Amino acid sequence: MSIKRTLTAGAVALLAAGPAAAEKLSLGAISGYLNGLGTVQADFTQIAADGSEQTGTLYIARPGRMRFEYDPPQETLVLAAAGAVAIFDDKGDARPETYPLDRTPLNLILAETVDLTRARMVTGHRETEGGATVVTAQDPERPDTGRLRLVFTGPPVALRQWQVIDAQGGVTTVMLHDMQMRADLPDRLFNIQLNTPEGGRR
Protein backbone atom coordinates (compact mmCIF):
# COMPACT_ATOMS: atom_id res chain seq x y z
CA MET A 1 0.00 0.00 0.00
CA SER A 2 1.44 3.40 -0.98
CA ILE A 3 2.05 6.05 1.63
CA LYS A 4 -0.44 8.33 -0.16
CA ARG A 5 -3.22 5.76 0.01
CA THR A 6 -2.42 5.03 3.63
CA LEU A 7 -2.47 8.66 4.67
CA THR A 8 -5.58 9.43 2.62
CA ALA A 9 -7.59 7.29 5.00
CA GLY A 10 -6.75 9.67 7.75
CA ALA A 11 -3.10 9.78 8.81
CA VAL A 12 -1.93 7.54 11.61
CA ALA A 13 0.43 4.29 16.48
CA LEU A 14 2.21 1.46 18.30
CA LEU A 15 3.45 3.01 21.50
CA ALA A 16 5.77 2.45 24.34
CA ALA A 17 3.88 1.03 27.26
CA GLY A 18 2.90 3.49 29.94
CA PRO A 19 2.36 3.02 33.66
CA ALA A 20 -0.43 0.72 34.74
CA ALA A 21 -3.73 2.32 35.70
CA ALA A 22 -6.23 1.08 38.27
CA GLU A 23 -9.06 1.01 35.74
CA LYS A 24 -9.75 2.15 32.22
CA LEU A 25 -10.13 5.86 31.64
CA SER A 26 -13.66 7.14 31.07
CA LEU A 27 -14.75 8.46 27.69
CA GLY A 28 -15.57 11.77 29.36
CA ALA A 29 -12.05 12.10 30.78
CA ILE A 30 -10.49 11.25 27.42
CA SER A 31 -12.75 13.73 25.59
CA GLY A 32 -11.77 16.45 28.08
CA TYR A 33 -8.08 15.68 27.56
CA LEU A 34 -8.34 15.88 23.77
CA ASN A 35 -10.33 19.12 23.93
CA GLY A 36 -7.63 20.65 26.12
CA LEU A 37 -4.71 19.40 24.06
CA GLY A 38 -4.08 22.77 22.38
CA THR A 39 -0.71 23.01 20.60
CA VAL A 40 1.77 20.16 20.95
CA GLN A 41 4.86 18.72 19.32
CA ALA A 42 6.03 15.11 19.35
CA ASP A 43 8.38 12.76 17.56
CA PHE A 44 6.66 9.86 15.84
CA THR A 45 7.36 6.48 14.32
CA GLN A 46 4.92 5.37 11.66
CA ILE A 47 4.45 1.77 10.59
CA ALA A 48 2.42 1.39 7.40
CA ALA A 49 0.18 -1.54 6.54
CA ASP A 50 2.96 -3.03 4.40
CA GLY A 51 5.38 -2.96 7.35
CA SER A 52 7.46 -0.04 6.10
CA GLU A 53 8.60 2.40 8.76
CA GLN A 54 9.20 6.15 8.77
CA THR A 55 9.99 8.65 11.49
CA GLY A 56 9.39 12.36 11.81
CA THR A 57 7.93 15.21 13.82
CA LEU A 58 4.24 15.79 14.51
CA TYR A 59 2.66 19.15 15.30
CA ILE A 60 -0.92 19.57 16.48
CA ALA A 61 -2.80 22.84 16.90
CA ARG A 62 -6.35 22.10 17.91
CA PRO A 63 -8.90 22.54 16.60
CA GLY A 64 -8.45 21.52 13.00
CA ARG A 65 -4.70 21.58 12.36
CA MET A 66 -2.00 18.93 12.24
CA ARG A 67 1.36 18.56 10.47
CA PHE A 68 3.44 15.42 9.82
CA GLU A 69 7.05 16.15 8.78
CA TYR A 70 8.87 12.99 7.70
CA ASP A 71 12.60 12.61 8.25
CA PRO A 72 14.99 12.27 5.26
CA PRO A 73 15.25 10.49 2.91
CA GLN A 74 11.44 10.53 2.98
CA GLU A 75 10.26 14.02 2.02
CA THR A 76 6.53 13.54 2.33
CA LEU A 77 4.66 16.26 4.20
CA VAL A 78 1.06 15.90 5.38
CA LEU A 79 -0.96 18.91 6.53
CA ALA A 80 -4.44 19.11 7.98
CA ALA A 81 -5.76 22.67 7.94
CA ALA A 82 -8.67 24.78 6.74
CA GLY A 83 -10.95 21.74 6.57
CA ALA A 84 -8.64 19.78 4.26
CA VAL A 85 -5.83 17.23 4.36
CA ALA A 86 -3.01 17.97 1.90
CA ILE A 87 -0.40 15.35 1.01
CA PHE A 88 2.84 16.59 -0.52
CA ASP A 89 4.67 13.60 -1.97
CA ASP A 90 8.43 13.05 -2.16
CA LYS A 91 8.56 13.45 -5.94
CA GLY A 92 8.38 17.23 -5.93
CA ASP A 93 4.95 17.50 -7.56
CA ALA A 94 3.83 21.09 -7.83
CA ARG A 95 0.51 20.65 -6.06
CA PRO A 96 -0.49 18.39 -3.18
CA GLU A 97 -3.29 15.87 -3.24
CA THR A 98 -6.10 17.24 -1.07
CA TYR A 99 -9.06 15.60 0.64
CA PRO A 100 -11.80 16.91 2.93
CA LEU A 101 -10.73 16.58 6.56
CA ASP A 102 -14.20 15.38 7.56
CA ARG A 103 -13.76 12.39 5.23
CA THR A 104 -10.81 11.11 7.27
CA PRO A 105 -10.60 9.65 10.80
CA LEU A 106 -8.29 12.52 11.80
CA ASN A 107 -11.38 14.67 12.08
CA LEU A 108 -12.36 12.68 15.17
CA ILE A 109 -9.56 14.25 17.23
CA LEU A 110 -9.21 17.57 15.40
CA ALA A 111 -12.88 18.57 15.65
CA GLU A 112 -13.59 21.75 17.58
CA THR A 113 -15.36 19.70 20.23
CA VAL A 114 -14.49 16.05 20.81
CA ASP A 115 -17.28 14.07 22.46
CA LEU A 116 -16.58 10.36 22.55
CA THR A 117 -19.82 9.77 24.41
CA ARG A 118 -21.87 10.50 21.26
CA ALA A 119 -24.11 7.67 20.16
CA ARG A 120 -22.46 5.21 17.74
CA MET A 121 -19.10 7.03 17.84
CA VAL A 122 -17.15 4.60 20.03
CA THR A 123 -17.11 0.98 18.87
CA GLY A 124 -14.58 -0.26 21.41
CA HIS A 125 -13.45 0.82 24.90
CA ARG A 126 -11.18 -1.48 26.89
CA GLU A 127 -8.20 -1.69 29.19
CA THR A 128 -5.06 -3.62 28.27
CA GLU A 129 -3.19 -5.93 30.63
CA GLY A 130 -0.57 -3.21 30.93
CA GLY A 131 -3.13 -0.70 32.17
CA ALA A 132 -3.55 1.38 29.01
CA THR A 133 -7.00 2.40 27.76
CA VAL A 134 -7.82 1.65 24.12
CA VAL A 135 -10.67 3.49 22.39
CA THR A 136 -11.83 2.67 18.88
CA ALA A 137 -13.95 5.40 17.30
CA GLN A 138 -15.62 6.28 14.02
CA ASP A 139 -17.66 9.15 12.65
CA PRO A 140 -21.23 7.96 13.30
CA GLU A 141 -22.39 9.92 10.26
CA ARG A 142 -19.62 8.61 7.98
CA PRO A 143 -18.58 5.13 9.14
CA ASP A 144 -17.19 4.44 5.66
CA THR A 145 -14.31 6.89 6.27
CA GLY A 146 -12.51 4.43 8.53
CA ARG A 147 -11.85 4.03 12.23
CA LEU A 148 -9.34 5.47 14.67
CA ARG A 149 -7.94 3.36 17.52
CA LEU A 150 -6.40 5.51 20.27
CA VAL A 151 -4.24 4.36 23.16
CA PHE A 152 -4.01 6.37 26.39
CA THR A 153 -2.31 5.96 29.72
CA GLY A 154 -3.20 7.65 32.97
CA PRO A 155 -4.32 9.24 35.08
CA PRO A 156 -3.18 11.81 34.24
CA VAL A 157 -4.49 11.12 30.73
CA ALA A 158 -1.81 11.00 28.00
CA LEU A 159 -2.13 10.01 24.35
CA ARG A 160 0.42 7.33 23.52
CA GLN A 161 -0.49 6.13 20.05
CA TRP A 162 -3.14 5.87 17.40
CA GLN A 163 -3.93 3.55 14.54
CA VAL A 164 -5.88 4.46 11.42
CA ILE A 165 -7.95 1.56 10.06
CA ASP A 166 -9.08 2.31 6.53
CA ALA A 167 -12.18 1.05 4.74
CA GLN A 168 -10.19 -1.87 3.28
CA GLY A 169 -8.92 -2.96 6.69
CA GLY A 170 -5.40 -1.59 6.25
CA VAL A 171 -3.81 -0.34 9.46
CA THR A 172 -1.34 2.52 9.81
CA THR A 173 0.31 2.67 13.23
CA VAL A 174 1.94 5.79 14.69
CA MET A 175 3.87 5.77 17.95
CA LEU A 176 4.27 9.10 19.73
CA HIS A 177 7.43 9.98 21.65
CA ASP A 178 8.37 12.93 23.85
CA MET A 179 5.10 14.85 23.43
CA GLN A 180 5.46 18.43 24.65
CA MET A 181 3.06 21.33 24.96
CA ARG A 182 4.08 24.20 22.68
CA ALA A 183 2.70 27.73 22.80
CA ASP A 184 4.91 29.07 20.02
CA LEU A 185 4.00 27.06 16.91
CA PRO A 186 3.87 29.52 13.98
CA ASP A 187 0.75 29.58 11.81
CA ARG A 188 2.86 29.04 8.68
CA LEU A 189 3.46 25.43 9.75
CA PHE A 190 -0.20 24.71 9.01
CA ASN A 191 -0.69 26.90 5.94
CA ILE A 192 -1.19 24.64 2.92
CA GLN A 193 -0.57 27.42 0.40
CA LEU A 194 2.69 28.48 2.02
CA ASN A 195 3.95 24.91 1.88
CA THR A 196 3.53 24.54 -1.89
CA PRO A 197 6.71 24.97 -4.01
CA GLU A 198 5.68 28.46 -5.04
CA GLY A 199 4.91 29.25 -1.44
CA GLY A 200 8.46 28.49 -0.41
CA ARG A 201 8.45 24.91 0.82
CA ARG A 202 11.09 23.73 -1.65
Q: Residue 93 is part of which domain span?
A: 3-199
Predicted structure pTM score: 0.82
Task: Work out the percent of the chain whose per-residue pLDDT is above 70.
Answer: 83
Write the pLDDT tens digit of every residue in 10-58: 333 333 344 444 589 999 999 999 999 999 999 999 999 999 999 999 9
Number of domains in the chain: 1
Cis status of the peptide bond prior to 72, with omega within 30 of 0: no
Distance CA 91, CA 24 (A): 44
* The pLDDT of residue 197: 57
Measure CA 190 to chain center: 14
Residue 65, class by beta-carbon neighbours within 10 Å (0-12 exposed, 13-18 middle, 19+ buried)? buried
For residue 6, name the pLDDT band (cuts at 50, 70, 90): very low
CATH number (domain holding residue 131)? 2.50.20.10
Q: What is the tens place of the pLDDT at every residue in 98-139?
A: 999 988 889 999 999 999 999 999 999 999 999 999 999 998
